[in-house]
Amino acid sequence: MRDAVLHGGAPGAGLSSPLLTLDRLRLEDGAHCLIEDVTLRLQSDGITVVMGPNGAGKSVLLRLLHGLTAPSAGHVLWKGAPLTPEIAKRHSLVFQKPVLLRRSVAANIDFILRARGLRGEGLRWDALRRVGLLDKVSHPARRLSGGEQQRLALARALVTSPELLMLDEPTANLDPGATQMIERIVKETANQGTKVIFVTHDIGQARRLAGDVVFVHKGQLEEHSPANQFFTSPQTAAAKAYLSGDIVT
Question: Judged by CB, which is closer to ligand ATP: 55, or 193?
Answer: 55
Question: How far is it, in rounded angstroms, from Cα 183 to Cα 49?
Answer: 12
Q: How far apart, in Å, are the Cα atoms of 83 and each of 74, 100, 107, 209, 219?
A: 12, 26, 29, 26, 21
Based on the shown chain and the rule CB under 6 A, indicate whether residue 67 belongs to the binding site for ligand ATP: no
Q: Which stretch binds ligand ATP (CB under 6 A): 52-60, 73-81, 133-141, 239-247?
A: 52-60
Binding mask 1-40 for ligand ATP (x = CB under 6 A): ----------------------------x----x------
Sign of torsion, CA 98 103 107 111? negative
From the CB of 197, what's the least distance to ligand ATP, in Å? 13
- Contact predicate 116/123, CB 8 Å: no
Based on the shown chain and the rule CB under 6 A, indicate whether residue 58 belongs to the binding site for ligand ATP: yes
| Cβ atoms < 10 Å from Cβ of 201 | 15
Q: How far apart, in Å, are the Cα atoms of 101 and each of 52, 112, 113, 117, 153?
A: 31, 11, 14, 19, 10
- Contact predicate 160/92, CB 8 Å: yes
Question: How far is it, in rounded angstroms, from Cα 24 to Cα 37?
Answer: 4
Question: Judged by CB, which is closer to ligand ATP: 108, or 220?
Answer: 220
Based on the shown chain and the rule CB under 6 A, indicate whether residue 54 belongs to the binding site for ligand ATP: yes
Question: How far is it, in rounded angstroms, from Cα 125 to Cα 19?
Answer: 30
Based on the shown chain and the rule CB under 6 A, indicate whether residue 57 belongs to the binding site for ligand ATP: yes
Q: Which of 59, 104, 161, 236 binds ligand ATP (CB under 6 A)?
A: 59
Based on the shown chain and the rule CB under 6 A, indicate whether residue 56 belongs to the binding site for ligand ATP: yes
Q: Which stretch binds ligand ATP (CB under 6 A): 16-24, 54-62, 155-163, 228-236?
A: 54-62
Q: Which of 51, 60, 83, 157 binds ligand ATP (CB under 6 A)?
A: 60
Q: Which stretch binds ligand ATP (CB under 6 A): 57-65, 98-106, 120-128, 173-181?
A: 57-65
How many of the chain's residues bind ligand ATP (CB under 6 A)?
A: 10
From the CB of 44, what's the least distance to ligand ATP, in Å? 24
DSSP 163-206: SEEEEESTTTT--HHHHHHHHHHHHHHHHTT-EEEEE-S-HHHH
Binding site for ligand ATP (CB under 6 A): 29, 34, 52, 54-60
